[in-house]
Structure 1
């Protein structure tokens, strides 16, 4: 596999904005040629599949400017530096902030690199069980989120019939299916 490796000769940030940077690496390919490679540089994130004691899923509907519509999804967000060594705490924080729900327990489902051809994003997916609306929501200034609960099987059906388009949510639901159903 080392035959495929690129050597990074240098790196710099071309553009900074809240949430991510656009980085340019100067690289040498295995054949010796060099060129620049741009990618999105962003911190790790957590994604939470929250289930109530009755087995319903807590979902969010959120405006997504990049696609120009409201999108159904799951609570998710950046791992803050204080939570870097405790991803479960980060998942609990995101669940509470975005939905007002707290969980009895968390289980790690999977960790994925969803767009590793154009970003260094790493998403840590968690299952949250026993979720109840006992916390205060604390949305960021740029979050427009409505919270709902739906029967889990309806959420699974939305994955199959293209009603659930958020890739992070689809990944969490499918991993839950693979591991627990």
Structure 2
């Protein structure tokens, strides 16, 4: 099988910030075509997880998403910090910060590419079970998050009804439901 990978000829950073880095690449395709410019967005890796409290309720977060211009219901999660030793540690940190819950078990469900055509990062997905409220939320300066508890059936109904708009979170929910043996929604 022939390689389909492009050869990087040069790369130039256009913008660098904590939350977004943009670069302009020049590439050579296996067929000999020069692709210039090709823009790539660099983001930190992300984590998200289906969080289930010890009473069986799913813990979700409701927050305003400015890029979309709406308040939406999502799974807990966020960007990995450079100090996070692993995706699981990042997930546990995000769960505690956003919900105030600590979880007995955090199971890795895999990783996915948010947008491999133009972004370089991964999203690591988890299933967290046995959640107990141990503290109040410890939100970042720009976060305003409302905790919402739903039953597993309500969660499935939201997926069926296209009520969860964050595609990375829908993917995690589906993987988690399969892991729980509840793959039929």
TM-score (norm 2): 0.91
In the alignment, what sits opposite 2:134? 134
| SS of residue paired to 1:81 | coil
Matches of 1:118 and 1:151 in 2, distance apart?
Answer: 36
Asked if the contact 2:126–2:176 (Cα under 8 Å) also holds between the matched residues in 1, the reply is no
Name 1:81's counterpart in structure 2.
82
Alignment partner, residue 21 of structure 1: 21
Aligned-pair CA distance for 1:99: 1.1
Distance 2:16 2:63 in 1: 24
Q: Which residue of 1 aligns with 2:96?
A: 96
Partner residue in 1 for 2:64: 63
Match in the other structure for 1:7: 7
State the Cα distance separating 1:141 from its structure 2 match: 1.7
- Give the paired residue count: 180
Q: Which of structure 1's runs of 4+ aligned residues deviate more than 2 A?
A: none
CA contact (8 A) 1:102 1:133 kept: yes
Q: Compute the TM-score of the two structures, normalised by the length of structure 1.
A: 0.93
Match of 1:39 in 2: 40
Residue 124 of structure 2 is aligned to residue 124 of structure 1:
yes
Q: Hey, what does 2:169 align to over in structure 1?
A: 169
The alignment partner of 1:72 has SS state of strand
Q: Deviations over 1:70-113 (max 9, x none)?
A: 01101111111221x32211111000111111111110012111
Cα deviation, 1:92-135, whole Å, max 9, x if unaligned, reads 10001111111111100121112111211200011111112212
- Give the number of the structure whose residues are more often helix, by fraction: 1
- The answer to which of 121-130 and 28-37 deviates more is 28-37
Deviation at 1:16, TM superposition (A): 2.3
CA offset digits 1:150-179 (Å, max 9, x no partner): 112111210110111111221111001222
CA distance 1:2–1:36, shift in 2 (3 Å): farther
Residues 153 and 104 of structure 1: CA distance in aligned 2, closer, same or farther (over 3 Å) = same
Residue 2 of structure 1: how far off its partner (Å): 4.5
Contact kept? 1:79, 1:87, Cα under 8 Å? yes
Q: Does 2:107 match 1:107?
A: yes
Structure 2 unaligned spans of 5+: none
- What is the CA RMSD across the aligned residues, in angstroms? 1.4
Tell me the CA shift for residue 33 of structure 1.
2.2
